[in-house]
Chains A and B, each alone.
Chain A
């Protein structure tokens, strides 16, 4: 406000005072009170809150979308066919898909770990086909998995189709603090190995589909994984968890957002779905069941997402 303007305002107020005093005004308040800004402030706060809620919801949805069930197709995968192809792996590779690997090839690849500092995605599930067009079984065992210990920067690891891998070698994963995705589909992972997985604090996705060598009680250890958001147990027909395990799953795995359990074992005596066939969290993107008769009954699905421990307790008690 300029000096002239303020002086004009001062003169107006002087005249107001003089007129009121001379004419004997019965009312006061020469200065007009401006409209209260509090409603606007409340509206701004409400708008900000709505925006924040929408932003958080969008981020959570984006986070779910970003959790890769399959290898991210946008990542430039480099293929390595057999032990002979290891020498051709470029030094700046970040995602490596290996075909026809065995323990020796794993050890040879691990020997080159220092030369692959950017490697974060490793897929050992690739299988070449023979002359008859039949895929060869992967001969990777726990020794081969143990050989992966130098890759401490891995975030994504697939050991799919490693039938001979029983899980003892998975201890080396404890030296990979950034590991977020572990695919053990069609592996021979056993209960003791699963019960050690709770030492992987960063693990967010665990795929145990078609694993038939572990007991359902091991899922209690899986439920203790602090950041687990996706658990796939499709066709784990030997997983027969105890009712107590079901409660632990529901109680501990509060971050779990997706559980896929089609064709998983049931308890025949009680006629109720097992814990493994009863996802602890609402599965919003569940894959279609291959065996319709083995799919979980609709009544076994929790009606809401499990977000808080209190909510989980309620879900466990249901």
Chain B
């Protein structure tokens, strides 16, 4: 069962070479992969692979360079899982994600973003909040959400688009 929470277990607690990364790095890599578009399961696997590569090759001494190195490995592994005819587009998106990550989440691995989204969600009420919760929390598909809310699918789509726009604006307003 996939989980939307980042894994907290540290890597390489066994004998052998000293661990090059800690659990914080794994969380950062996992979130970065999720931001790239990976599902929770994919992010689990790719984060594991990323850290294995880092253990094998070693990491730079400086923390910032080490994080950038890990993100580079994760990005390449992610792109490798994409089909080759979508890889060019995905590479462009990955570059944009890298910029966005550096601008919004690199300092604390996204903790502040998550906290801000909690606040923003508190300001979202009514059917928009209900639709988001039924879909993201309970995993219902959008047509079923629309049926529960007594709306047409297109109406739900518009409602969710507006809610997401509000959340984005809220995040940008409250951001650094």
Interface residues as binary, B93-105 with A (CB distance below 8 Å gives 1, 0 otherwise): 1011101100010
Q: For B97, give its contact among A13, A19, A27 (CB under 8 Å).
A: A13
Contact, CB under 8 Å: B2 / A6:
no
Complex CA–CA separation, A22 to B93 (angstroms):
23
The answer to whether residues A21 and B39 also contact, given A7-B96, A11-B100, A26-B139 and a CB cut-off of 8 A, is: no
Stretch from A29-37, A42-50, A156-164 forming part of the interface with B:
A29-37
Contact of A10 among B100, B118, B139 (CB under 8 A): B100
Minimal Cβ-Cβ distance residue in A for B94: A10
How many residues of chain A have a CB within 8 Å of chain B? 28
Residues of A within 8 A of B139 (CB): 25-27
Residues of chain A within 8 A (CB-CB) of B62 are: none
Does the CB pair B137–A30 fall under 8 Å? Answer: no
B171 proximity list for chain A (CB < 8 A): 15, 18
Q: CB-CB < 8 A to B24: which residues of A?
A: none
The B interface is mostly helix, strand or loop, or mixed, namely helix
Answer whether A15 and B4 are a contact pair too, CB < 8 Å, given A7-B99, A22-B118, A27-B139.
Answer: no
Asked if B138 and A15 make an inter-chain contact with CB atoms under 8 angstroms apart, the answer reads no
Interface centre among A3, A9, A12 (most CB of B within 10 A): A9
State how many angstroms separate the Cβ of A59 from the closest Cβ of chain B: 34
B136 touches A19 (CB 8 A): yes
Q: Is the CB of B41 within 8 A of A28?
A: yes
**Contact flag A18-B114 (CB < 8 Å), given A6-B92, A13-B35, A28-B41:** yes
Which residues on the A side are within 8 Å of B137 (C-beta)? 23-26
Q: Pick the residue among A7, A18, A29 that contacts B117 (CB under 8 A).
A: A18
The answer, yes or no, to whether A17 is at the interface (CB within 8 Å) is yes
In the bound complex, residues from chain B placing their C-beta under 8 Å from that of A301 are none
Closest to A32 in B: B37
| A3 pairs with B38, CB closer than 8 A | no
Any B CB within 8 A of the CB of A1:
yes
**In the complex, how many angstroms separate the beta carbon of A74 from the nearest chain B beta carbon?**
50
**B145 in the interface, Cβ–Cβ < 8 Å?**
no
Closest residue of chain A to B138 (Cβ to Cβ) is A26
Chain B contributes a number of interface residues (CB within 8 A of A) equal to 44
Give A37 to B83 CA distance when docked, in angstroms. Answer: 10
Q: B96 contacts A21, CB within 8 Å?
A: no
Interface residues of B in 95-130 (CB under 8 A from A): 95-97, 99-100, 104, 110, 113-114, 117-118, 121
Bound-state CA distance A12–B96 (Å) is 11
Q: Which residue of B lies closest to A3 (CB)?
A: B96
**Interfacial chain A residues near B133, Cβ < 8 Å:** 23
CB-based contact A21/B92 at 8 Å? no
- The answer to whether A28 touches B93 (Cβ under 8 A) is no
When distances are taken between beta carbons in the complex, the residues of chain B under 8 Å from A14 are 35, 97, 100, 104, 113
Chain B window 58-94, contacts with chain A (Cβ cutoff 8 Å), 1 for yes, 0 for no: 0000000000000000000000000101100100110
CB proximity of B22 to chain A, nearest CB, Å: 20
Is there an interface contact between B39 and A29, defined as CB atoms closer than 8 Å?
Answer: yes
CB closest chain-B residue, reference A33: B83
Contacts of A7 in B (CB 8 A): 96, 99-100
Residues on the A chain within 8 Å of B38, using CB: 28, 30-31
> In the complex, what residues of A have CB within 8 A of residue B26's CB?
none
| A27-B37 contact in complex given A1-B92, A7-B100, A21-B114, C-beta closer than 8 Å | no
The 3 A-B residue pairs with the shortest CB-CB distance in the complex, in nearest-first order: A28-B39, A31-B37, A10-B96
**Chain A to chain B contacts (Cβ below 8 Å), 8 pairs:** A10-B100, A14-B100, A14-B104, A20-B40, A21-B114, A26-B138, A27-B2, A29-B42
Known: A11-B100, A37-B85. 12 other contacts (CB 8 A): A1-B93, A6-B93, A9-B96, A12-B164, A13-B97, A17-B34, A20-B34, A21-B31, A23-B133, A25-B136, A26-B137, A30-B34
